[in-house]
Structure 1
């Protein structure tokens, strides 16, 4: 995805499958070919992550060769040229993240402005637990985009893009990675209450870490620490609880048009199955039971 030149070799009976979707700050693509393939790309303004789903490939990133296989992901930083060589039968998932958006997210997380040419190490171990979390998030997003690309609200997409960027920054190797999890100074505790009120007033909109940090005037790590210290949970968990409460109000309203699916969508839950699980964990019953009781 994003190659400037592609050569195919040992074609025989050629079969290829390609699919890509571009959102505001990220793009996600799938590729599979039955033949050997060599792709070249010039330096670009986005970071590229390549994950092997089947078979093996090699990425030459800025003159350094990196394996792309079941044990390792490959990362190409923005501004770096790239070449990929894949064996026949190789299947791959490619994530692209715009460099300017990624650096804004990083600055919000660590309260340090990174340089415009900020670089990432070219390899990520697939055995890293955070790499597994990133892969599962991308699998979920790819599945949803493939099955129902227009099924989410814009707020849900913005929050998913936010989650992908944070997951990538937490997983990849770079100079400021350790600072993402490192403790920072605590803001005033009154800030937590003010942000809770902000979330209560804007729960229908996209609630991203970058937006909350800007509203608070502190770094994202200070924001998370304040919530954990004062409330014992994260601002994202609070946002979820607010949306669950709003969804429950809809389901209890007795409105015949209020269904589990419509309440989940209205409250920005990307997956109805996940919504049902969160709802049961919070209220001790499935949302369908709430609807049935309200209809009596």
Structure 2
């Protein structure tokens, strides 16, 4: 068969972890123990693949089948067919194709090694699930690089579940009910160490702490402002009450005394006489030189301020 059988998780997603067969192969022959190898030209690799298909009784006219029997010319799985590699280590394959795509954006090299990676990219890109895994890998790595900048942790991708393409920041701040429920789930879960879920949980809890600190600071500031305003109002009211209840100050007495040669008793008597209410019949004889009070008092003693004003008006 030219098509690989992907190993999948219970939810249907492709498993990226290497299969037991791949792990065993890597254990028996680690990369450091491999002898130097010269990558074969694409014509040689294709000829060997064609012969492989013939030996299996396959149809050499099936281009996909022939390509599946091409052999890897590099890395830990050197000598294994493309078909075997996709079935046994999707994670390695995804990383390989993603890095090769970026490399192809910088160079047009036709070296045998690049040609071999081109062929593997063509073969693996025929499977939508694999293509999606490569797209996510590239987006995840780009976001991770951005998140390493100071204060940009939220730009990393969630990396798992239904919201794996979502950034941590947009997930946390979302008003969508499904995403809100997912964030609540992250708050109460205990993830396995070193997983993407652990990163997401740490971010959510960090943002929660920031919000609590901001709310506490705003509350303290509001309380202080209210207390300051209340204290200022109370102080102003106290000053007004004190001013109204205090007798005529020495400065005002001096002012009046300096303007008049009368004794204090004589001055007060004259002012009381001036401001005393007059009978209605004498209103026509109102003197323009006498001060008039807008609110005559019949039974209340004039205040000190009224006395001073009356004396000053009298002088003028």
Place the TM-score, normalised by the shorter chain, in its bin: under 0.3
Q: Choose between structure 1 and 2: higher helix proportion.
A: 2
Q: Which has the higher contact order (CA 8 A, sep 6+)?
A: 1
Task: Give me the TM-score of the superposition, normalised by structure 1.
Answer: 0.25
Task: Give me the TM-score of the superposition, normalised by structure 2.
Answer: 0.24
Q: Choose between structure 1 and 2: higher strand proportion.
A: 1
